[in-house]
């Protein structure tokens, strides 16, 4: 069974950094692109970015390119999202998703709240 | 960036009714268009990829069509469990972009 479990969320002060993890199981992690998507409270979905199998290609939505960094550890079957200079606009549920023909499997999401 | 415009924003329909949701891209996306369903409090779920391919386990009442800039998700006979918000996503070019969603309710 494909399973994606995000962790690392919580309450963080403005200007600080936070690193999210996404633990993958039930499939061959190093065969797939992986991505991050977020959803602000009551809003739609926003694609953050994605990384290919060997980390040689990483793409971001332009507005987040200088703040967020996507990485992966294929030995640990884990995807990461390093977030810096966080602001209230970054308050959202963050989802990791497997990239195949579409994002075919999603984690349950992790909440990040940016507030003083 | 490619802009994705979904319509309508809100739709109320009766059980058993045929429902059509639309997604329009600001430029040709070569059928690289997915549809996702998100129920309240849940993660999104892939319904259709590449315009008209049903994801594993998705009921056959869901179908997709389109080309160029105009795409459609059709539910042939609306069921109570279809209450959700539906998002389209273009994967033709980076950055990937979602539509703003259509919230579907039962009348």
Using the beta-carbon criterion (under 8 Å), do B43 and A102 form an inter-chain contact? no
- Cα dist. A25→A4, A102, B8, B88, B104 in Å? 7, 19, 37, 27, 33
Nearest to A47 among B56, B98, B100 (CB): B98
Provide the percentage of residues in chain B whose pLDDT is more than 70. 100
Contact A24, A77 (CB under 8 A): yes
What confidence tier does A101 reach under pLDDT thresholds 50, 70, 90? confident
User: How far is B1 from A41, CA to CA, in rounded Å?
Assistant: 24
Residues in chain A with CB shorter than 8 Å from the CB of B87 are 44-45
d(CA B59, CA A29): 27
Give residue-wise pLDDT tens across range A32-76: 999 999 999 999 999 999 999 999 999 999 999 999 999 999 999
CA–CA distance, B29 with B50 (Å, rounded to integer): 10
Q: Which chain B residues are closer than 8 Å to A22 by Cβ?
A: none
**What are the pLDDT digits (tens) for B78-106?**
999 999 999 999 999 999 999 999 999 99
Torsion of CA A76, A8, B89, A60, to 10 degrees: -80
Residue A85: predicted pLDDT: 97
Q: How far is A29 from chain B (nearest CA, A)?
A: 19
A102 close to B45: Cβ distance less than 8 angstroms: no
pLDDT at B92: 97
Structure letter (DSSP) for residue B103: E
Residue B2 forms contact with A (CB below 8 Å): no
Nearest chain B Cα distance for residue A69, angstroms: 15
What is the pLDDT at residue B69?
98
CB contact under 8 A, B45 and A37: no
Q: What is the mean pLDDT of residues B70-82?
A: 98
Contact A45 B87 (CB under 8 A): yes
> What pLDDT shows up at residue B58?
97
pLDDT of residue B17: 98
**Which A-chain residues 47-106 have CB contacts (< 8 A) with chain B?**
47, 49-50, 59-62, 95, 101-106
CA distances from residue A26 to A61, A88, B43, B57, B93 in whole angstroms, order as listed: 28, 35, 18, 17, 29
Residues of B in contact with A108 (CB under 8 A): 43
pLDDT tens-place string over residues B29-69: 999 999 999 999 999 999 999 999 999 999 999 999 999 99
Q: What's the pLDDT score for residue B7?
A: 95
The pLDDT of A94-111, averaged and rounded, is: 96
* Residue from B59, B74, B94 nearest B23 by CA: B74
Residue A113, burial from CB neighbour count under 10 angstroms (0-12, 13-18, 19+): middle
Q: What are phi and psi of B7, to 5 degrees?
A: -145, 150
Q: Using CB atoms, pick whichever of B48, B95, B98 lies closest to residue A45.
A: B98
CA A73 to chain CA mean position, Å: 14
Q: Are strands B10-13 and B102-106 parallel, antiparallel or unpaired?
A: parallel
The answer to whether the CB atoms of A101 and B53 lie below 8 A apart is yes
């Amino acid at each position: 069974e494909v399973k994606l479990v995000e962790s690392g969320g919580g309450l963080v002060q403005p200007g600080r950094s936070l690193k999210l993890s996404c633990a993958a199981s039930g499939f061959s992690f190093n065969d797939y692109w992986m991505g991050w998507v977020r959803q602000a409270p009551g809003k739609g979905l926003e694609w953050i970015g994605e990384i290919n199998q060997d980390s040689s290609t990483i793409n971001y939505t332009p507005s987040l390119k200088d703040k967020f960094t996507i990485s992966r550890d294929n030995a640990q079957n884990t995807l990461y999202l390093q977030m810096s200079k966080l602001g209230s606009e970054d308050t959202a549920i963050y989802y990791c998703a497997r990239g195949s023909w579409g994002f075919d499997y999603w984690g349950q999401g992790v909440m990040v709240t940016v507030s003083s | 960036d490619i802009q994705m415009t979904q319509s309508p924003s809100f739709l109320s329909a009766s059980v058993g009714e045929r429902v059509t949701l639309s997604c329009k891209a600001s430029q040709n996306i070569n059928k690289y268009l997915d549809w996702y369903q998100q129920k309240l409090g849940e993660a999104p779920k892939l319904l259709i990829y590449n315009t008209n391919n049903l994801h594993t386990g998705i009921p056959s009442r869901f179908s997709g069509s389109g080309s160029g800039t105009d795409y459609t998700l059709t539910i042939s006979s609306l069921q109570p469990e279809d209450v959700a918000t539906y998002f389209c996503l273009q994967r033709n070019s980076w950055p990937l972009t979602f539509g703003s969603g259509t919230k579907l309710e039962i009348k």
